Chains A and B, each alone.
Chain A
Amino acid sequence: MTAIALRPGGHVGGPVITAAGLGLVVAMRWAATVSGAADAVAIGSVFGVGLLAVAVLGGWRPARARASSLVIGVAGGTVLIGLAVVTRSGPVPALSPAASFGPWAAATILVATAEELVLRGALFDAIDDSLGVTVAVIVTAVLFAVMHVPLYGWHVVPLDLGVGLWLAGLRLASGGVAAPAIAHTVADLATWWL
């Protein structure tokens, strides 16, 4: 119970509103996608900008990253790729690129980084401050899983829940959001080849 007790001076209004902003941006991405408003890369780019806005308005500010975060992030992303490779059950599918690599990679980097700035950045810090680190880990991991349901379906929840926990672990291990952002980006970029 100690872990979820409201800390002195803490408040849950900020995290709730940040989560609501995240939900609205996700809903807008879904609505734009199913209505065929634009292609996946364009919608993803707008989605990433929206997430950046939520992160900034939620309290995240740029700061110098620790050098160790780069190492931890690359290592964390490599582990995610390794888990995907060793557990692959079928042949490598024939992937049809959604666009040329450049725009696709730019959109992927933007989306992955922005998701981390919201979840493991602004939201994690706010929940950590008010409700404790355990709640921050769980809530951000659950939100990470749920936010992907509209586009990918409920079957992605177990996988993304695990990834959310892993990224939260990287956040704690490195002390900042750079490491999970790098790991997330590395893993997402690997989908081009995997």
Chain B
Amino acid sequence: MTRRGATVSALGTGMLVILAARLLVPSAPPLYDGVVPLEAYHWLDPPPPGQHGGAKGAAAVIPVPGGKSPFVAVATPELEPQAQMEAPPEGLTLPPGTTTIKVSIEPIPGEGIPTDGHIDGNVYRFTVTDQSGTPITAPASAEVSIVLRAAHPTLPKATIERYVDGTWQPSNASSSDFGGTFLATVTDFGDFAVVVPGPAPSTSSSAAATASSAESATAAPVATPGVPPTPPASNTAATDDSGLPGWLLPALAVLALGVITIGYRATRHSRRKGW
């Protein structure tokens, strides 16, 4: 292929792929990459000082064809949804005679305080019923999942907990991912929240916003969500909460330095090009 042909092909194909990706993958970032400003976390009103309020819920009524539960996916309307629920086909245990599945996700004022950490973000109530309001459950094997976004996007570790019988209980099989989103497989629905190990940092409003009003009134000013407070000392110890050993970064740095030095020696005689 000539350079002119490669130029035209790259520009044309690139534009078509961009268009297709933008239309078919709506959850992609606003633009492309770089140091992307994250969408603000929306707290249940009233928000902590300096934060965004207006947390929204989501609801859906899903027809049940042939008595088998269809694929169910409901999410709150933020660019990166703050709360989501997903069930694979036949993933829900339906009461006899179910014709529709009603799913509701609503931010609610939280009750109680976890004994193993603090809540980071809103408490969300997940309600899944049939048309008459009978609760719907899910077998563990179905791996029905809920996903919650934490208020602080770079949390190294957290779990999703469920409020049951007056206490916050860790859900099984919770896992974490970068971006402050956390997933848990569930068999029952109810009130869920992201719980971060340890006490709430002084710059965080997380538990305060969802716990008692007295605590909300005494909450300290919060950091900007995109710039989370410095992690507690336990997160930067030799083995931090994320499971990353403390020696990993220096080791990678040394390894990188070695590789690029070798690369420099291998390529220093090659033709140099500039802008």
Q: Which of B6, B15, B20 contacts A133 (CB 8 A)?
A: B6
A21 to B265, CA, bound (A): 13
Evaluate contact between A188 and B273: CB separation under 8 angstroms: no
Number of B positions contacting A (CB below 8 A) = 81
A184 to B32, CA, bound (A): 9
A99 to B224, CA, bound (A): 8
B248 at the interface (CB under 8 A from A): yes
14 A-B contact pairs sorted by A residue (CB < 8 Å): A18-B263, A21-B263, A36-B236, A63-B274, A69-B275, A93-B39, A94-B42, A96-B38, A98-B38, A99-B224, A159-B28, A178-B275, A188-B34, A194-B30
A89 to B22, CA, bound (A): 9
Given contacts A17-B267, A83-B15, 10 further A-B contacts (CB under 8 A): A14-B266, A17-B259, A39-B227, A57-B264, A59-B271, A95-B37, A125-B273, A164-B14, A166-B10, A194-B30
- CB-based closest 8 A-B pairs: A63-B274, A162-B17, A166-B14, A165-B14, A17-B263, A169-B11, A98-B226, A188-B34
| Given known contacts A80-B18, A166-B15, A169-B11, A152 and B29 CB-to-CB distance under 8 angstroms | yes
For B154, the closest partner residue in chain A by CB is A36
| Given known contacts A90-B79, A97-B224, A104-B35, A37 and B236 CB-to-CB distance under 8 angstroms | yes
A24 to B13, CA, bound (A): 29
Q: B-facing mask of A23-48, CB < 8 A → 1, else 0?
A: 01101101111111101110010000
Instruction: Give the shortest distance, in Å, between B181 (CB) and chain A (any CB).
Output: 10
Interface residues of A, dominant DSSP? helix
Please give the residue numbers on chain B whose beta carbons come within 8 Å of chain A beta carbons, in ascending order: 1, 3, 6-42, 52, 77-79, 154-156, 178-179, 224-228, 230-231, 235-236, 240, 242, 244, 248-249, 252-253, 255-256, 259-264, 266-268, 270-275
Evaluate contact between A84 and B22: CB separation under 8 angstroms: yes
Evaluate contact between B14 and A40: CB separation under 8 angstroms: no
Residues of A within 8 A of B255 (CB): 24
Instruction: Give the shortest distance, in Å, between B77 (CB) and chain A (any CB).
Output: 8
Please give the residue numbers on chain A whose beta carbons come within 8 Å of chain B beta carbons, in ascending order: 3, 13-14, 17-18, 20-21, 24-25, 27-28, 30-37, 39-41, 44, 50, 53-54, 57-66, 69, 79-81, 83-84, 87, 89-90, 93-99, 104, 107-108, 111-112, 115, 121, 125-126, 129, 133-134, 137, 141, 148, 150-153, 155-156, 158-170, 172-173, 176-178, 184, 187-188, 190-192, 194
Evaluate contact between B28 and A169: CB separation under 8 angstroms: no
Evaluate contact between A169 and B267: CB separation under 8 angstroms: no
For B274, the closest partner residue in chain A by CB is A63
Residues of A within 8 A of B225 (CB): 96
Residues of A within 8 A of B156 (CB): 34-36
Evaluate contact between A192 and B14: CB separation under 8 angstroms: no
Q: Which of B7, B39, B259, B267 contacts A20 (CB 8 A)?
A: B259
A107 to B224, CA, bound (A): 18
Q: Which of A59, A107, A108, A155 contacts B272 (CB 8 A)?
A: A59
Residues of A within 8 A of B270 (CB): 14, 59, 126, 129
Residues of B within 8 A of A173 (CB): 7, 11
| Given known contacts A61-B273, A121-B273, A159 and B32 CB-to-CB distance under 8 angstroms | yes
Evaluate contact between B228 and A39: CB separation under 8 angstroms: yes
Residues of A within 8 A of B25 (CB): 155, 158-159
For B35, the closest partner residue in chain A by CB is A44
Instruction: Give the shortest distance, in Å, between B266 (CB) and chain A (any CB).
Output: 5
Evaluate contact between A97 and B37: CB separation under 8 angstroms: yes
Residues of B within 8 A of A133 (CB): 1, 3, 6
A25 to B13, CA, bound (A): 29
Residues of B within 8 A of A27 (CB): 252
Residues of A within 8 A of B13 (CB): 162, 165
Evaluate contact between A137 and B10: CB separation under 8 angstroms: yes
Evaluate contact between A40 and B7: CB separation under 8 angstroms: no
